[in-house]
Amino acid sequence: MPSTRRRLLATAATGGTILLAGCTGQLPGTGPRRVDAVETGGERELVWQYPAAEVEEHDDGVGYGSVTFEGDRSSDGGSGRLAFELNTTVGGIAATEAYTDYEADWARFRLGPPNAYTATHPFEMWVQPPTGGFDLRTGYDHRAGRRELVVELPGIDTGGTITLPVLFDPSDDAVPDLFHCSFTVEASEPGAFGETVRASSRGTIEIAAARS
């Protein structure tokens, strides 16, 4: 079993996902500007860049979120273990010049196998806390018959990159054929009149193709 000092076992969620709201750069009574994300990446990785309109014009935009399949970890002591990495990056060198000062307010990831797998194969998912002392919230949520890991970074308030290693640990050696993934982020331009944007997207990673 992974060291409890390095990884947090996701605990069962008792209700819906906590609603998070950023306040940096957001005037009272106003909400964030919702922007679309464009999906890039390959078979092993989902990458969501935003705003989509600017990314499609070959700009970097505000930043990106990603879920990457890192491979099998069965040799670490358990059959069927799979490793993933979650990444949220805002501002800095990853952004278009107009957005380099933007900071992430909060971010949320969801990750889980299909409902057919969930119904017959118990599993746990382990999350390694990020460096930098960021608050981390983990839990399980049930959506459309699926048991999903929910990972939240509720108070980031800085730019740059945060990565979170995740380990899928099944009770047997059966491996899901795919994983459903989603990402939501809110980012703000510093200052009382700075803009706040929110982006969300989802996708799937096909494990068989990613392992080949």
Task: For each of the domains in the chain, give its residue range(s) and CATH number, in order of start.
Answer: 25-211 (2.60.40)
- Mean pLDDT is lowest, of 9-13, 104-108, 139-143, for 9-13
Higher pLDDT, 64 or 27: 64
Q: What is the mean predicted confidence (pLDDT) over 80-93?
A: 95
What tens digit of pLDDT does each residue of 112-138 get? 999 999 999 999 999 999 998 899 999
pLDDT band at residue 68 under the 50/70/90 scheme: very high
Q: Are 99 and 166 in contact (CB under 8 A)?
A: no
Residue 173 is predicted with a pLDDT of 85
Residue 12 is predicted with a pLDDT of 35
pTM: 0.84
Report the SS3 class of residue 119.
Answer: helix
pLDDT averaged over every residue in the chain: 85
Distance between CA atoms of residues 96 and 73, nearest Å: 36
